[in-house]
């Protein structure tokens, strides 16, 4: 699932429940997470996994609060854009947050962050050129990956339509999460033993970020 679809769900969620920028921290973190890209670092379980210090948590919280205020003006535009256009619009924010993390995390924390980033971006990450090259993915495997992801996307479309018509947002997010996890498991099954071992090294210990 592309981050644009995640952003669309976030916009629909925002409209449905009327989240304001002064509401509780957990609601704000949830919306930040749904913005996609490196914003998954806003989740408490991710920060705990990274073992952030009190000072790091304070700095990150301030950065995310600032980004959330800036994103408020973007959310209205995101709903009307296609996936690629949404990602392009969000890219500057992604790059600024990654630069912030580079400056404020230790080398070990950054290494773990990169592992979690691969986990968060699955299953779509498996089609990116750098991953295909690193894992020596064959054309046949790539075609199987594409078929699995397209199948997942077909099942997600009615969920997005349900979200637009006022469906239960939390239930929809849970269903999308399950579809992503099932698709990733299917793709990993297409890897040979050496590729699976390398992928496990690249992603590290599994963490259910969603």
- Residues contacting residue 116 through CB under 8 Å, at least 6 positions apart: 40, 46, 49, 50, 204, 207, 209
Q: What contacts 24+ positions apart, CB below 8 Å, involve 145-153?
A: 145/187, 145/190, 148/123, 148/183, 148/186, 148/187, 148/190, 149/123, 149/124, 149/183, 149/187, 151/183, 152/1, 152/123, 152/179, 152/180, 152/182, 152/183, 153/1
Nearest Cα to 46, choosing from 167, 186, 205? Answer: 205
> Residue 102 domain-assigned?
yes
The pLDDT value given to residue 19: 40
Question: pTM for this structure?
Answer: 0.77
Q: What is the pLDDT along the chain (210 residues), one digit of tens a residue?
A: 444 444 444 444 444 434 444 445 656 666 676 677 898 898 889 999 999 999 999 999 999 888 887 777 666 666 665 666 767 778 888 999 999 999 999 999 999 999 999 998 889 999 999 999 999 999 999 999 999 999 999 999 898 888 778 878 778 888 888 999 999 999 999 999 999 999 999 999 999 776
Show the domain range for 64. 3-203
> Residue 159 domain-assigned?
yes
> Residue 52 domain-assigned?
yes
> Residue 183 domain-assigned?
yes
> Residue 31 domain-assigned?
yes
> Residue 210 domain-assigned?
no
Integer Cα distance of 33 and 54 in angstroms: 20
The pLDDT value given to residue 32: 73
Q: Domain count of the chain?
A: 1
> Residue 208 domain-assigned?
no
> Residue 184 domain-assigned?
yes
């Amino acid at each position: 699932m592309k981050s644009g679809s995640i952003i669309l769900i976030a916009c629909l969620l925002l409209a449905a429940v009327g989240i304001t920028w002064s509401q509780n921290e957990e609601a704000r973190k949830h919306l930040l997470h749904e913005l996609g890209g490196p914003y998954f670092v806003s989740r408490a379980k991710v920060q705990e996994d990274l073992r952030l210090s009190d000072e790091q948590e304070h700095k990150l919280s301030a950065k995310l609060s600032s980004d959330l205020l800036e994103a408020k003006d973007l959310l209205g535009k995101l709903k009307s854009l296609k996936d690629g256009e949404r990602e392009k619009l969000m890219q500057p924010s992604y790059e600024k947050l990654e630069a912030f993390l580079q400056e404020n995390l230790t080398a070990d924390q950054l290494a773990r962050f990169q592992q979690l980033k691969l986990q968060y971006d699955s299953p779509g990450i498996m089609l990116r050129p750098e991953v295909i090259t690193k894992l020596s993915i064959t054309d046949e495997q790539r075609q199987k990956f594409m078929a699995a992801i397209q199948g997942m996307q077909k099942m997600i479309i009615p969920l997005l339509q349900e979200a637009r018509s006022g469906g239960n947002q939390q239930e929809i997010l849970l269903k999308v999460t399950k579809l992503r996890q099932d698709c990733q498991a299917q793709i990993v099954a297409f890897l040979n033993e050496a590729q699976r071992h390398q992928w496990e090294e690249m992603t590290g210990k599994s963490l259910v970020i969603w």
